[in-house]
């Protein structure tokens, strides 16, 4: 059980600042996902929590106890590596039980814990295999088993699914979610995949360029992104962002098209308008606010993605539910849902 | 994937021909060594160029083992080579691990210095080495050879070991440390078993180098008691004649330890011990 607190945590390699002023409190039992583009410092932050990387500044506490200088073995955390990091010269059972072996746990205790984890993860028949005799998915399970066996106060995951193929990734994602429900342990999960973040997290921490951009529940981030970066990073396909200006109680796009929005419009400072593809709709000529040419139409069955080029405004992605009878080259009228409009200031800050 | 590609019979034949040519070229001197060792003395000159002698004898081996100081040379060589191989490998493993895993001030400088030591021709430094060894009173001792050989082999062995450590993912130690090991425990229980091939290769390489070294042994040793094998071999050359049969027999016997050594370590030399550690 662990309540993890990061206060003004910073990290630099020589003169290169990788993380700045990270403040975050992780409640006991919470599933936190650190998400952000590659190179933003997610792994570095996780490794500092694990004790594999010295902390350059700030204070890191677990249940109020300062941990900055505590070696990894005394932090009572288990970690699943992106590369799995299985010990190649030990069989599956010994890999899973290695932490207990090091801690000199009684043999029968060790056996029963390994057995339990193997059963949970469907590895019972593979206990005598060496890692090289396993498939990628099985190795991934062994890596998880190694963490479960320890019954740690917190689990750390560094992009654990990124080496798996798409189908296996979905399956393992569910398994991790189930694991969290069952163990009710604190979990910190790093990924660059926003779908993983949205599906797994109690709260998501969005990182970019060494700064926390926003912390919130998946729905928070989707509906009320703090800035343009979060707005475009969360949600798939990506939010459309267009040049825009406030004109009284409506918004003017660059082509002169006016969009009515629900609620207040800030008098000044509006520089861009954001609208998610699922909040623009194909409309008949009377309802349409503007129109453009469909350059590419993707029929996905459940959805239809229409890439529309609007003269004077730019390219748009529109996502409609189900099948929409639009073909490449058609002229389509578009309607922006006034309740779902996001506005951004020059510096990317969200204005609504 | 090239193993899966169907090669034309012509290419296969060519490949085997090339291999056969290479093997013949490399092994012929060894064959000649063995042949002369078993040729009776009186036939050596009369049928010197025949591929197979008309009669065989093991007389040369008997003489070498019983009537000469061969066993003493052999023992000295064994002490020097094993000592050098063991000490060099230990030092190189420690240094190679440090170079592979840690960043410390002066690391580049140390590496540069180690490279520089490898740049001088041996002949250039043999006189100063002689003076140093003489000054500390180690002439005619096996210890002097062990020290000199170790000093000369450590840089190369270190780079060799470093490349083996570089081949072992850092994640493994880190996983070990998170699982409850100290860094040293992780090194001992996880990294060491995986470096056995590297240790074996380094041991073998240094052993062979020390086993066949002549120049320093010639300079630093001149008492018969402490002669190593390559120097001892020269005693078969007298002012008036060369005892070819005995010399070759001694040469054949000298191959034995190297062969045994490689047979012993070759199972550690097989690659792929770390496969399965990461993704795949
Ligand atoms: N040992 C190191 N020395 C210098 N820079 C590093 C080191 N490790 C990571 N970095 C830098 O820190 C940044 C964050 O890295 P990382 O945490 O691995 O990113 P990611 O979010 O992709 O996991 C990167 O820009 C990387 O270049
Ligand atoms: Mg990373």
Do the chains contact at B176 and A103, CB–CB below 8 Å?
A: no
Helices (H), ranges, chain A: 42-50, 92-102, 107-121, 136-150, 166-183, 194-200, 218-223, 228-233
Q: Which atom of ligand 1 is nearest to the CA of A46?
A: 17
For residue B272, name the pLDDT band (cuts at 50, 70, 90): very low
Task: Collect all residues of chain A within an 8 Å Cβ-Cβ radius of residue B187.
Answer: none
Average pLDDT over residues A315-331: 92
Distance CA A183, CA A190 (A): 19
Q: Is B137 in contact with B75 (CB distance < 8 Å)?
A: no
pLDDT tens, residue by residue, A269-301: 889 999 999 999 999 888 888 899 999 999 999
Q: Which atom of ligand 1 is nearest to the CA of A11?
A: 12
Do the chains contact at B174 and A89, CB–CB below 8 Å?
A: no
To test ligand 1's pocket by mutation, which of A43, A55, A156 has the most ligand atoms within 8 angstroms of CB? A43
DSSP state of A348: S
Q: Is A43 in the pocket of ligand 1 (CB under 6 A)?
A: yes
The structure tokens listed for A24 are 């975050």
Distance CA A282, CA A291 (A): 9
Q: Which residue has the tokens 């099948």?
A: A323
Could you tell me where the beta strands, DSSP code E, fall in chain A? 4-13, 16-26, 31-35, 57-62, 65-66, 77-80, 154-158, 186-191, 203-208, 211-216, 240-247, 250-253, 258-260, 270-275, 280-283, 290-299, 303-310, 314-321, 331-336, 342-345
Q: Is A136 part of the contact surface with chain B (CB cutoff 8 Å)?
A: yes
Select the residue of B182, B193, B278 nearest A89 (Cβ to Cβ): B193
Q: Which atom of ligand 1 is nearest to the CA of A190?
A: 23
> What's the mean pLDDT when you consider all of chain B?
88
Answer positive or negative: Cα dihedral of B234, B236, B239, B244.
negative
For residue B246, name the pLDDT band (cuts at 50, 70, 90): confident
What's the CA-to-centroid distance between A83 and ligand 2, angstroms?
11
Select the residue of A52, A84, A102 nearest B180 (Cβ to Cβ): A102
Distance CA A228, CA A222 (A): 12
Closest CA to A109 of A97, A120, A94: A97
pLDDT at B258 over 90: no
Task: Collect all residues of chain B within an 8 Å Cβ-Cβ radius of residue A99.
Answer: 179-180
Distance CA B59, CA A254 (A): 104
Q: Which of A47, A73, A77, A96 to mutate to test the interface with B (most CBs of B within 10 A)?
A: A73
Highest mean pLDDT among A311-325, B47-61, B231-245: A311-325
Do the chains contact at A84 and B277, CB–CB below 8 Å?
A: yes
Do the chains contact at B174 and A81, CB–CB below 8 Å?
A: yes
**Phi, psi at B104, each rounded to 5°:** -140, 160
pLDDT at B4 over 60: no
What 3-state class would DSSP assign to A86? coil
Which ligand is nearest to the Cα of residue A18, counting in written order? 1
ipTM for the predicted complex comes to: 0.87
The structure tokens listed for B227 are 């002669």
For residue B275, name the pLDDT band (cuts at 50, 70, 90): very low
What's the CA-to-centroid distance between A12 and ligand 1, angstroms?
10
The DSSP secondary structure of chain B, one letter per residue, reads -TTTSPPPHHHHHHHHHHHHHHHHHHHHHHHHHHHHHHS-HHHHTTTTT-SS-SS---HHHHHHHHHSSHHHHHHHHHHHHHHHHHHHHHHHHHHHHHHHH---TTHHHHHHHHHHHTTS-HHHHHHHHHHHHHHTT-TT-HHHHHHHHHHHHHHHHHHHHHHHHHTS-HHHHHHHHHTT--HHHHIIIIIHHHHHHHHHHHHHHHHHHHHT--HHHHHH--SGGG--HHHHHGGGB-SS-B-HHHHHHHHHHHHHHHHHHHHHHHHHH-S-TTTTSS--
Q: What is the pTM of this model?
A: 0.84
Closest CA to A244 of A264, A268, A222, A263: A268
Can you give the residue ranges of every domain in chain B?
A: 7-57, 69-269
Q: Is A139 in contact with B276 (CB distance < 8 Å)?
A: yes
Do the chains contact at B277 and A71, CB–CB below 8 Å?
A: no
For residue B271, name the pLDDT band (cuts at 50, 70, 90): low
For chain A, what percent of residues have pLDDT higher than 90? 86
Q: Is A13 part of the contact surface with chain B (CB cutoff 8 Å)?
A: no
A residues 73..92 contacting B (CB < 8 A)? 73, 77-79, 81, 83-89
pLDDT at B280 over 80: no
Q: Is B140 in contact with B223 (CB distance < 8 Å)?
A: yes
What's the CA-to-centroid distance between A158 and ligand 2, angstroms?
7
Closest CA to A227 of A318, A322, A344, A123: A344
**Bond prior to A237 in cis (omega within 30° of 0):** yes
Average pLDDT over residues A141-157: 95
Count A/B contacts: CB-CB distance under 8 Å.
88
Other CB atoms within 10 A of residue A325 CB: 9
pLDDT at B274 over 60: no
Q: Is A122 in the pocket of ligand 1 (CB under 6 A)?
A: no
Q: Is A153 in the pocket of ligand 1 (CB under 6 A)?
A: no
- The C-alpha angle with vertex A241 and arms to A238 and A246, in degrees rounded to 5, equals 150
For chain A, what percent of residues have pLDDT higher than 70? 100
Strand order in the sheet with A154-158: A77-80, A154-158, A186-191, A31-35, A203-208, A211-216
Q: What is the pLDDT of residue A1?
A: 66
CA distance A272 to chain B (A): 43
What is the location of CATH 2.40.50.140 in chain A? 240-345
Domain B69-269 belongs in CATH node 1.10.3720.10: yes
pLDDT at B268 over 70: no
pLDDT tens, residue by residue, B191-208: 999 998 889 889 988 999
Q: How many residues does chain B have?
A: 280
pLDDT tens, residue by residue, A232-280: 999 989 999 999 988 888 888 887 788 888 877 887 888 999 999 999 9
Q: Which residue has the tokens 């029968």?
A: A108
Task: Collect all residues of chain A within an 8 Å Cβ-Cβ radius of residue B182.
Answer: 71, 73
Closest CA to A201 of A211, A191, A212, A213: A191
Q: Which of A53, A54, A71, A85 to mutate to test the interface with B (most CBs of B within 10 A)?
A: A85
The structure tokens listed for A325 are 């009878």
Pick the CATH number of A240-345 from 1.20.1250.20, 2.60.40.2130, 2.40.30.30, 2.40.50.140: 2.40.50.140
Q: Which residue in chain A has the smallest CA separation from B169?
A: A85
Q: What is the pLDDT of residue A255?
A: 77
Question: Which of A26-30, A174-178, A288-292, B268-272 shows the lowest mean pLDDT across its residues?
Answer: B268-272
Distance CA A326, CA A289 (A): 18
The structure tokens listed for A226 are 């703090």
pLDDT at A115 over 70: yes
Average pLDDT over residues A141-159: 95
> What's the mean pLDDT when you consider all of chain A?
93
Average pLDDT over residues B152-170: 93
Beta bridge partners of residue A227, listed in sequence order: A349
Q: Is A191 in the pocket of ligand 1 (CB under 6 A)?
A: no
CA distance B195 to chain A (A): 11
- In this structure, the dihedral spanned by the alpha carbons of residues A118, B183, A38 and A80, taken in order and rounded to 10 degrees, is 10
Select the residue of A77, A85, A130 nearest B278 (Cβ to Cβ): A85
Task: Collect all residues of chain A within an 8 Å Cβ-Cβ radius of residue B180.
Answer: 73, 99, 102-103
Q: Which atom of ligand 1 is nearest to the CA of A158?
A: 23
What 3-state class would DSSP assign to A232? helix
- Around ion ligand 2, which residues have CB less than 5 A away? A 43
What's the CA-to-centroid distance between A334 and ligand 2, angstroms?
40
What's the CATH superfamily of A4-233? P-loop containing nucleotide triphosphate hydrolases (3.40.50.300)
The structure tokens listed for A265 are 């419009």
CA distance B185 to chain A (A): 9
- End-to-end alpha carbon distance in chain A: 38
Q: What is the pLDDT of residue B269?
A: 63
């Amino acid at each position: 059980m662990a309540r993890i607190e990061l206060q003004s945590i910073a990290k630099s390699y020589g003169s290169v600042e990788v993380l700045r002023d990270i403040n975050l409190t992780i409640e006991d039992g919470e599933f936190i996902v650190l998400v952000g583009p590659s190179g933003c410092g997610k792994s570095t932050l996780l490794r500092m929590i694990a004790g594999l990387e010295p902390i350059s500044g700030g204070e890191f506490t677990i249940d109020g106890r300062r941990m900055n200088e505590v070696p990894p073995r005394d932090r009572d955390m288990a970690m699943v590596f992106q590369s799995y990091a299985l010990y190649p010269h030990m069989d599956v059972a010994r890999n899973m039980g290695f932490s207990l072996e090091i801690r000199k746990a009684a043999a029968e205790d060790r056996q029963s814990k390994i057995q339990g984890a193997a059963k949970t993860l469907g590895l019972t028949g593979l206990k005598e295999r060496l890692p090289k005799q396993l498939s990628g998915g099985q190795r991934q399970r062994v890596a998880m088993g190694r963490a479960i066996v320890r019954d740690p106060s917190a689990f750390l995951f560094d992009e654990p699914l990124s080496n798996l193929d798409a189908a296996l990734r979905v399956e393992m994602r569910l398994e991790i979610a189930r694991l969290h429900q069952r163990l009710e342990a604190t979990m910190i999960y790093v990924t660059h995949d926003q779908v993983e973040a949205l599906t797994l997290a109690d709260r998501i921490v969005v990182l970019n360029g060494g700064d926390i951009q926003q912390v919130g529940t998946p729905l928070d981030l989707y509906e009320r992104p703090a800035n343009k970066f979060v707005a475009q990073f969360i949600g798939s396909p990506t939010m459309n962002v267009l040049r825009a200006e406030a004109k009284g109680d409506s918004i003017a796009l660059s082509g002169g098209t006016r969009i009515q929005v629900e609620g207040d419009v800030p008098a000044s400072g509006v520089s861009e308008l954001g609208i998610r593809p699922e909040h623009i709709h194909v409309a008949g000529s009377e309802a349409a606010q503007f129109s453009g040419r469909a350059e590419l139409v993707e029929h996905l069955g459940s959805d239809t993605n229409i890439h529309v080029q609007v003269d004077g405004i730019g390219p748009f992605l529109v996502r409609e539910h189900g099948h929409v009878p639009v073909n490449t080259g058609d002229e389509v009228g578009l309607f922006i849902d006034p309740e779902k409009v996001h506005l951004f200031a020059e510096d990317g800050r969200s204005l609504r | 994937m090239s193993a899966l590609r169907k090669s034309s019979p012509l290419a296969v034949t060519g490949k085997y021909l090339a291999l056969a040519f290479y093997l013949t070229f490399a092994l012929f001197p060894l064959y000649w060594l063995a042949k002369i060792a078993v040729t009776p003395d009186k036939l050596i000159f009369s049928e010197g160029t025949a591929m197979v002698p008309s009669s065989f004898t093991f007389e040369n081996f008997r003489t070498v083992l019983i009537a000469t100081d061969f066993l003493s040379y052999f023992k000295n060589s064994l002490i020097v080579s094993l000592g050098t191989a063991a000490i060099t490998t230990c030092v190189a493993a420690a240094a190679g691990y440090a170079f592979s895993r840690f960043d410390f001030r002066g690391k580049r400088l140390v590496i540069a210095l180690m490279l520089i030591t490898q740049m001088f021709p041996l002949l250039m430094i043999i006189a100063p080495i002689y003076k140093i060894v003489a000054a500390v009173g180690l002439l005619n001792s096996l210890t002097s050879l062990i020290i000199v050989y170790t000093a000369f082999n450590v840089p190369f062995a270190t780079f060799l070991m470093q490349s083996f450590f570089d081949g072992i993912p850092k994640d493994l130690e880190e996983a070990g440390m998170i699982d409850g090991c100290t860094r040293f425990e992780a090194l001992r229980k996880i990294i060491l078993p995986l470096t056995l091939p590297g240790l074996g290769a380094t041991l073998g390489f240094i052993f062979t180098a020390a086993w066949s070294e002549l120049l320093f042994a010639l300079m630093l040793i001149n008492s018969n008691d402490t002669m190593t094998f390559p120097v001892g071999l020269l005693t078969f050359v007298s002012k008036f004649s060369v005892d070819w049969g005995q010399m070759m027999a001694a040469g054949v016997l000298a191959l034995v330890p190297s062969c045994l050594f490689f047979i012993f370590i070759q199972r550690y030399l097989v690659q792929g011990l770390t496969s399965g550690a990461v993704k795949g």
